[in-house]
Chain A
């Protein structure tokens, strides 16, 4: 199993550009989520999904969109990139979220917005 796969690993954008961070998991997990991690800080939840067709906002959703058309994929879209969105983004999945929600993380996508 590949686990959680994120692409790209690195990306540089100009202010105002849009892009999509891809996330795929092959563990048949229902729960998927996106976090951002800024230097020296913890992980902040952007959006999450408890299953195909269902998404919800996390702690810092503004400026980001998500969709969940399949169990395997959970892309994160930046609509109009801003320098404040410079961060490392982690996708994570778990079997069910909730009380038994051990998260499996991807290796991260480092985004720089100029």
Chain B
């Protein structure tokens, strides 16, 4: 499958600060999915982006797919303690759904 790299690996923020994680690929991606995994839990699907330049919002979360379809970002506005967890991007290459290494978000109250 196509490799996707995520940065940063870890992020500590103060509650109320914004947070962004990036997903990058050296090749064009067919689509990007984002998942959230709470500590001790299992990954839960957040969203899928398919179109070049696509932007989607879910309340305080904004997801973007790059114009060249080689990168994507997830931005959280005004983080809350409930945002704690690891955020993964995933790419479908045919029938192989592979994941980036994840960004672990920690929020200080």
Contacts and interface: CB of A to CB of B under 8 A. Distances in A.
B11 interface: no
Interface stretch (B14-22, B54-62, B72-80, B90-98): B90-98
Given A43-B43, A105-B44, A48 B96 contact: yes
Contacts of A56: 95
Contacts of A45: 1, 96-99
Nearest to A104: B45
A41 B101 contact: yes
A105 B92 contact: no
Interface string B23-51: 00000001101010000011111001010
A102 B42 CA distance: 14
Interface residues of A, number: 29
23 contacts: A33-B97, A42-B6, A42-B101, A43-B43, A43-B88, A44-B98, A48-B95, A48-B96, A58-B1, A58-B96, A58-B98, A59-B1, A59-B96, A59-B98, A97-B95, A97-B97, A99-B31, A99-B92, A101-B33, A101-B92, A102-B48, A103-B45, A105-B44
Interface of B: 1, 6, 30-31, 33, 35, 41-45, 48, 50, 88, 90, 92, 94-102, 104
